[in-house]
Structure 1
Amino acid sequence: MHEVKAKGILSAQNGMNIYKGCTHGCIYCDARSTCYQMDHAFEDIAVKVNAPELLEQALRRKRKKCMIGTGAMSDPYLHLEKELCLTRRCLEIIDEYGYGLAIQTKSDMLLRDLDIMKRINQKTKCVVQMTLTTFDERLCQILEPHVCTTSRRIEVLNILREEGIPTIVWMTPILPFINDTEENIRSILSACRKAEVYGIMTFGIGLTLRDGNRQYFYQKLDQHFSGMKERYIKTYGNAYQLPVPRGKELMKLVRQECSDAGIEWRTEKIFEYMHQFEDKEVGRQLTLFD
């Protein structure tokens, strides 16, 4: 890791990334792409040590309350967070100033901060987003080797349900010829139904690859799935979007199962929900753009 002093912390859409880079080791990670112009090794995490101070300054200046998002580019619960506690401090500031939270992670470390999330959710809205790509524990340890497995993430979703905190599952990416089976999709959907998640993100069903993450992904295919890289190249060439062969059929399954369970599957509606600030004290809602 190395420390940096950031000039700002919130994006125009009120998102923040406290860390840059990742140590989870997911073989498909888009954040490795060269288009993001990272000037250091991906596992050498850039730590924005002044993130809490910048966040407090930004929230103090805002005229209207809104949802604050984190985790879109870098997981807020990297291994470093256990000692640094920068995410926890930022959550405390969000709570102190009465803002909402939409947080995305693959880590069960978020349970450490459940006390703050509950306080935020009592006043406004705290939405936790958890990624589930494969129900197979052995496969999960290959695809996402340095983070808690699917079964533990499902436990976390159920704990959050019991605490009344809304959740969203990112069922993405689904890797062609690897985890794109109906059995896998049905198993994840069943777990989501039991956990009473609000929504499931899919962005269609497939994978995206571009320069940077493509090379790393292919390296890992060679390591764990003999002959799979050649199959990808033969099927998709150098394409950015890699839809699974039965994508339309599987997406139809997702829509049907979600509709039956009362789970939102429309991407635009899920984003709308995450961006919508709710003031539970006065019973009103403000959109991100108010």
Structure 2
Amino acid sequence: MKSRGTAMNPHNRFQPLATDRERDDGWYQDPDDDLCPDSMATEVVDEQVRTIISRNQSPDVPFDRSINPYRGCEHACIYCFARPTHAYWDMSPGLDFETRLIAKPNAAEQLRRELDHPGYRPATIALGVNTDAYQPVERQRRITRQLLEVLLEYRHPVSLITKGALILRDLDLLEELASHGLCSVRVSLTTLDNSLKRTMEPRTAAPATRLKILRELTAAGVPNGIIMAPVIPFVNDHELEHILEAAANAGASRASWVMLRLPLELDELFQDWLQRHFPQRAGHVMNRMRDLRDGKTYQSEFGKRMTGSGPYADLIRQRFNRQVRAVGLNRGEEPALRTDLFRRPAGEQMGLF
């Protein structure tokens, strides 16, 4: 499937009925049969949301609230931990996740309502965590930019995670937010190998472009760093030191890492991808994954799901910490984004009368 992470569409686990189509023996070929097209267009439908800020209590992440302008992600990363969430919308975590997107056009309007609520207390909002806020559909829909405009107006802190070059379109907003101590950015950098990038995360920005993003953010005074997420045994783990060095040279100041996670349907999708692209090492990769997860392919427990456990996890941690020190990343504590500047423009204007 051209420019897609997978051609599979595994069954939706919430749907009690499943259908299979039996193929013929190959003698008859219907020229109009689109069972196996070589490409597929992206479909986008709108959802008028009633809430936009999602809350979490996970000790594994440094934020308790987030906003996702889109459901599904056209970036098509085969390893994306968010794929199984597409089943909640009666769609498959496979090809549907990449091609059948849901946009939230009233996101900015709803954000205003929630920030205006008298009981709201500001804390950093992570923008684009479950799915990328700067995936290709954002170029036309501009929902992420509208959200940033609201956050700037309210002087509300925001952090962003992306692997999309479109973030540079909004550099004007990010620069102004950063000038008030209200913004930080993390670029997901998983490989420096263009060939691996094309198969593993087909519609994302090239590695060189992501380094350019870091350079331009640094030049604009926007605090930034990278996340090597995920680290995949015997696929990209050998690049760890080179990725950290390249990021430091591009101006990044922070770095972190996450081990590959394979929840629910993602296990089947990733293993199919391995067999297609790395058949000789597929068994080796999955054996290491089981070593990391106490004999299973995934653990959902807090404290283990992001890093795994055992000798290999310890080795990755040691390599990461040593290289971070060597290239000068993660020096000192990262300054917290400001919350004391938060204001409600509508409320302030009413106070003048």
2:79 alignment partner, one of 28, 35, 43:
28
With structure 1 as the length reference, what TM-score do the two structures score? 0.84
Counterpart of 1:277? 338
2:191 alignment partner, one of 134, 146, 149:
134
1:104 alignment partner, one of 151, 158, 161:
161
Asked if 2 retains the 8 angstrom alpha-carbon contact of 1:124 and 1:279, the reply is: no
Deviation of 1:60 after TM superposition, in Å, equals: 2.2
Specify every segment of 5 or more residues in structure 2 that has no aligned partner in the other structure, as ranges. 1-43, 56-63, 300-307, 343-353
Counterpart of 1:198? 253
Asked if 1 retains the 8 angstrom alpha-carbon contact of 2:128 and 2:160, the reply is: yes
Q: 2:152 aligned with 1:95, yes or no? A: yes
Specify every segment of 5 or more residues in structure 1 that has no aligned partner in the other structure, as ranges. 282-290
The 1:232/1:64 distance shift into structure 2, 3 A limit, reads closer
Asked if 2 retains the 8 angstrom alpha-carbon contact of 1:65 and 1:98, the reply is: no
With structure 2 as the length reference, what TM-score do the two structures score? 0.70
2:279 alignment partner, one of 226, 231, 256:
226
Q: 2:180 aligned with 1:123, yes or no? A: yes
Aligned-residue Cα RMSD (Å) equals: 2.6
Alignment of 1:42-81 (within 5 A): 42-43=97-98, 44-61=100-117, 64-81=121-138
* Distance in 1, Cα, partners of 2:331 & 2:129: 19
Q: 2:287 aligned with 1:258, yes or no? A: no
Residue 68 of structure 2 aligns with an amino acid whose one-letter code is N
* Distance in 2, Cα, partners of 1:192 & 1:134: 11
* Distance in 2, Cα, partners of 1:152 & 1:185: 18
SS of residue matched to 1:202: strand
2:90 alignment partner, one of 39, 42, 60:
39
* Distance in 1, Cα, partners of 2:141 & 2:279: 39
* Distance in 2, Cα, partners of 1:227 & 1:89: 47
Deviation of 1:120 after TM superposition, in Å, equals: 0.9
SS of residue matched to 1:254: helix
The 1:252/1:224 distance shift into structure 2, 3 A limit, reads same
Deviation of 1:132 after TM superposition, in Å, equals: 0.7
SS of residue matched to 1:138: helix
Which structure: greater helix fraction?
Answer: 1
SS of residue matched to 2:230: coil
Q: 2:52 aligned with 1:9, yes or no? A: yes
The 1:59/1:279 distance shift into structure 2, 3 A limit, reads same
